[in-house]
Chains A and B, each alone.
Chain A
Amino acid sequence: MGWRKSMEATWALVRRAANELLRGVLAPTIFFLGLTSVFGALDNLAGFPAPYKDWLIPVSLLQGAGFTGAATGVNLARDIEQGWFDRLLVSPAPRPVILAGLVLSAALRSLIPAIFLLIVGFAIGVQWPGLDGLLIALLVVMGMGTVAACWGTTLALKYRSQSAAPLMQAGMLLLVLTTTAYAPLALLTGWLHTVARYNPVTQVVEAARQGFIGSVTWGNTWPGLVALAGLLAVLSALALRGMHRTAI
């Protein structure tokens, strides 16, 4: 199968996934609105370099991407349980193509809750991040959606059951939680400080955040992109290994 055919097969799988109900479109927005209204008072707190809603919106964007990505794993587990996935596995489409179809659909779908959240955010006065800041944020959303989808896919292939869903969601939640997502590094203490400092997702969060709380610089961008690429490499390798193991 040539690459053109492979692309077409991938696209066909993407389209199928898009057929499915778009879950969690609203969740990150509701989450964001809830947190900003409860913790909006933190605007006055020392150590926060920007209004809380500007500070938080990139985090909600990433979390939306994480949930959408993890949903890919849940859907795959369901497809495995119901036997749909076998249909793909007995086809001669190369395993990486099948995997790409799954995770690329997650990348595209994760844009939907993100765009919705951004529209609501701008409506309530979130700072405009500039075109470059916006594009970086959306790129990071797609990247994290893909990372989460690889994680969900890996677990789905391993456990072959929807009961692994909490694990798929929790993995992404933890990855984002143990960063500077909710508070600046200076305000984090103890082990959380240490973990947040070395968690590559911290770089990703900061890259997505920069436009919302200041201006975009290359220095704040490249570490995030490198971290994202690293996460993608590791998790897609895991998912691909799962694909090869699941059938011969």
Chain B
Amino acid sequence: MPAIEANGLERTFEGGIHAVAGVDLDVAEKEIYAFLGPNGAGKTTTVRMLTTLLQPTGGSARVAGFDVVAEAANVRRSIGVALQEAALDPLMTGRELIRLQATLHGLSRQAGREKADSLLERVDLVDAADRQVGTYSGGMRRRLDLASALVHEPKVLFLDEPTTGLDPVSRRTIWEEVEQLNREGTTVFLTTQYLEEADQLADRVGIIDFGRIVAEDTPGRLKAGIGHPHLEIRLVEDVAERAREVVAGFGKPRPSKDGAVLVELEGGAGGVAPVVRALDDAGLAVESLDLVEPTLDDVFLEKTGHHLEPEEPEAGESE
């Protein structure tokens, strides 16, 4: 039995916004599955439907074997959820929050107390446990939120952008915790806007854009499907337009990113030297030059025609 299963899942909002436009999912037990997509792609809407917070307007889904509409109560008993807007009462302490959560999940007072102790230990919040949540840092809040989703040892864990806005160290702490939970047998469905997060953490990645999954596979296979690396060229002066013309002869040009000129090199590393010579001949001074192996962003670009991470406003336009 798959842990999460969706068939043609859809959600249209008032005003005709097609936030989720037919999503099929088949997430196996004990898998880490990542939904990778930009702002507004439909990640949260999908998670809200899978966690019984929002009624689908089309299609169906089952979580832990239960239908999310007809058997919502059973779904809720089987899942842990850390939502994107980690709503925490700033006046409560971390310990109070976890104990409230334990009570809501029907744990006895004694069990709730013990659970709070072990979970606070687990997410390294023992020292801050009796402080008001209002005084917590962003990373601490996310850890607390994660801990509060674990009180009933859920089989399936939903994490909506668990690390957005966190510094790299806090991010890594969350990743390690997620991996540990997964090793203990928890199925994890997470959403992210971060390439590395999907790449490093997930067994499988679904790339979502405009409410549709445009690609889905292991990160390795997705990247292998792209094939060639690309060259990322930064110039000393703002001469991107001319540079683009020069390199156009060496491979398929790509939409620029953060002001860098990008070109695909079908021949791999051997193609670097001719490009450098050509730029030199044209009198364009190169500041830096990187040969970049395919990333999930390349997969994203190939499937959707745009980058996952938004371009800087001052970056040169692609055409």
Contacts and interface: CB of A to CB of B under 8 A. Distances in A.
Interface of A: 1, 5, 8-9, 12-13, 16, 19-20, 79, 82-94, 247-248
A84 B87 contact: yes
Interface of B: 51-55, 68-69, 72-73, 76-77, 79, 81, 83, 85-89, 91-92, 99-101, 103-106, 109, 148
A8 B113 CA distance: 14
A89 B53 contact: yes
Contacts of B109: 8
A247 B54 contact: yes
Contact of A12 (B77, B79, B103): B103
A12, A20, A82 pick with most chain B CB within 10 angstroms: A12
A248 B104 contact: no
Contacts, number: 72
A9, A84, A87, A91 pick with most chain B CB within 10 angstroms: A87
A92 B77 contact: yes
Nearest to A88: B104
Contacts of B92: 16, 19
Contact of A86 (B73, B83, B104): B83
A59 B5 CA distance: 57
Given A8-B109, A248-B52, A19 B104 contact: no
Contact of A83 (B76, B77, B83): B83
B87 A248 contact: no
Contacts of A93: 104-106
Q: At the interface, is chain A mostly helix, strand, loop or mixed? A: helix
Given A19-B89, A92-B73, A12 B52 contact: no
6 contacts: A1-B106, A5-B106, A83-B83, A87-B87, A90-B79, A92-B77
Nearest to B77: A92
A16 B103 contact: no
A156 to B, nearest CB: 15
Contacts of A9: 103-104, 106
User: Across chains A and B, which 3 residue pairs bring their CB atoms closest together, nearest first?
Assistant: A83-B87, A91-B104, A84-B87
Given A9-B104, A19-B91, A91-B101, A86 B76 contact: no
Contacts of A247: 52-54, 72
A157 to B, nearest CB: 13
Contacts of B81: 90
Given A86-B53, A86-B83, A247-B52, A12 B72 contact: no
B89 A84 contact: yes
Contacts of B77: 92
Nearest to A82: B87
A5 to B, nearest CB: 5
A87 B147 CA distance: 13
Nearest to B68: A248
A83 B85 contact: yes
Given A90-B52, A91-B76, A248-B52, A16 B106 contact: no
A28 to B, nearest CB: 25
